[in-house]
């Protein structure tokens, strides 16, 4: 499929702060796995995500990063690194299962494609487990559980953004949270209590 043609048909473009604020700060809608129209949107979005990751050199992406007219709001889809091997996977309806206690955090220096790749420091959990449906070409979405953990080796490379932080970054996007208004941006408080945040740190099991 020609990406340029698909992009024009879907009215797709990179979502930018100041231009697509209502899209970027919206909570993504969950996908109905059994709905044919929803799944068509997922597959088209997957193609756009792969294209934009290559074009803009992104290491992860969410539906909120790509504005389009195919759906009225972002849908709950992210493309993120695998936690334990090379490559990326596309996850549908990711949900937090477990994460590290608020004091088990580390500073992650991150950029966001929604604001000209501006960089800020955000405190991230060292452990983050999610349930999701994994998109597999030619097969029905498969229920998976992935555990992301900051390794000792990764701790020695503070200049890199590691998979555990990328997963949290993209999950935040689905909640309408950007790194620039993240509650952990300045004081390390990961209670995630924010006017834009629809969830609280007390809702999930800790590790």
- Note whether 127 and 150 are within 8 A (CB): yes
Measure the CA–CA gap between 83 and 37, rounded to whole angstroms.
Answer: 30
Nearest to 28 by CA among 83, 78, 85, 69: 78
Total domains, the chain = 1
Polymer length in residues for the chain: 207
Does 180 have pLDDT greater than 80?
yes
**Domain span at residue 167?**
3-203
Q: Which of 92-101, 106-115, 141-150 is the most confident on average? A: 141-150
Q: What is the CATH number of the domain that holds 128?
A: 3.90.45.10
The model's pTM is: 0.87
The pLDDT value recorded for residue 45 is 97
Residue 59: Cβ within 10 Å count: 19
Mean pLDDT, rounded, of the chain = 87
């Amino acid at each position: 499929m020609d990406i340029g043609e698909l992009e024009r048909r879907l009215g797709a473009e990179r979502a930018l702060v100041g231009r697509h604020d209502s899209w970027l700060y919206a909570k993504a809608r969950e996908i109905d796995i059994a709905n044919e129209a929803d799944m068509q949107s997922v597959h088209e979005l997957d193609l756009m995500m792969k294209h934009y990751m290559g074009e803009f050199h992104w290491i992860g992406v969410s539906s909120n990063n790509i504005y389009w007219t195919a759906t009225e709001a972002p849908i709950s889809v992210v493309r993120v690194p695998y936690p334990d091997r090379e490559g990326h996977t596309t996850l549908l309806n990711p949900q937090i299962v477990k994460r590290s206690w608020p004091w088990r955090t580390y500073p992650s220096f991150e950029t966001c494609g929604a604001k000209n790749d501006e960089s800020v420091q955000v405190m991230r959990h060292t452990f983050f487990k999610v349930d999701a449906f994994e998109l597999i070409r030619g097969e029905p979405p498969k229920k998976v559980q992935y555990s992301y953990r900051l390794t000792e080796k990764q701790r020695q490379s503070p200049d890199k953004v590691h998979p555990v932080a990328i997963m949290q970054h993209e999950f935040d996007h689905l909640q309408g949270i950007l790194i620039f208004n993240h509650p952990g941006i300045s004081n390390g408080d990961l209670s995630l209590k924010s006017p834009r945040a629809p969830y609280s740190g007390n809702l999930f099991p800790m590790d």
